[in-house]
Amino acid sequence: MPERLTHLDPLGRARMVDVTPKDPSHRRAVARGRVYMQPETTALVARGAVGKGDVLNVARVAGIQAAKRTADLIPLCHPLLVGAVLVNFHIDDAYIEIEAHVDTVDRTGVEMEALTAVTVAALTIYDMCKSADRAMTIGDVTLWEKTGGRSGVYRRESSDPELDLGL
């Protein structure tokens, strides 16, 4: 655990971390999250029967777009050249799980891009399904894996086998 937060200067003021001394390298991040909903709602999504259209395709495009726009949303996040974004879904009776993979060759990681992709995809699912299910909940948005850069590899270890779907 770092002794201080990197986005604060010695006086405690917000700052953007200087990444210019770093060499560009391949970096990847994987994030996951879920939209919990009634089984009837997941069935509607699975059948493509939601009135607003193809929920998962729209959510996929929203997640990809969000990953590319992360620096516009998160004030101290560096603008990156996002090389690839993959957004996948797993439908269960009680939830839809979203998994986003983001890759770049740059001086800083893409964790925020992966987390933003998952979050915006989840919000899109919520928006498209809210007329059928007002009790939906978005949750479990988590960084699952990060590779590249000075800090090396991080993989989340799950104590809940149900959370490790291996999408």
pLDDT score recorded for residue 134: 95
Catalytic residue among 23, 72, 106, 127: 127
Q: Is 127 a catalytic residue?
A: yes
Domains and CATH numbers, the chain: 25-148 (3.30.70.640)
CA 73 to mean position of chain CA atoms: 13
pLDDT score recorded for residue 127: 98
> Mean pLDDT of successive 10-residue segments in the chain (167 residues)?
73 86 95 98 95 95 99 95 98 98 97 99 98 97 95 83 53
Residue 166 burial by CB count (10 A; 0-12/13-18/19+): exposed, middle or buried? exposed
pLDDT score recorded for residue 6: 83
CA 97 to mean position of chain CA atoms: 11
pLDDT score recorded for residue 159: 60
**DSSP secondary structure letters along 14-66:** B-----TTSPPEEEEEEEEEEEE--HHHHHHHHHT--TTS-HHHHHHHHHHHH
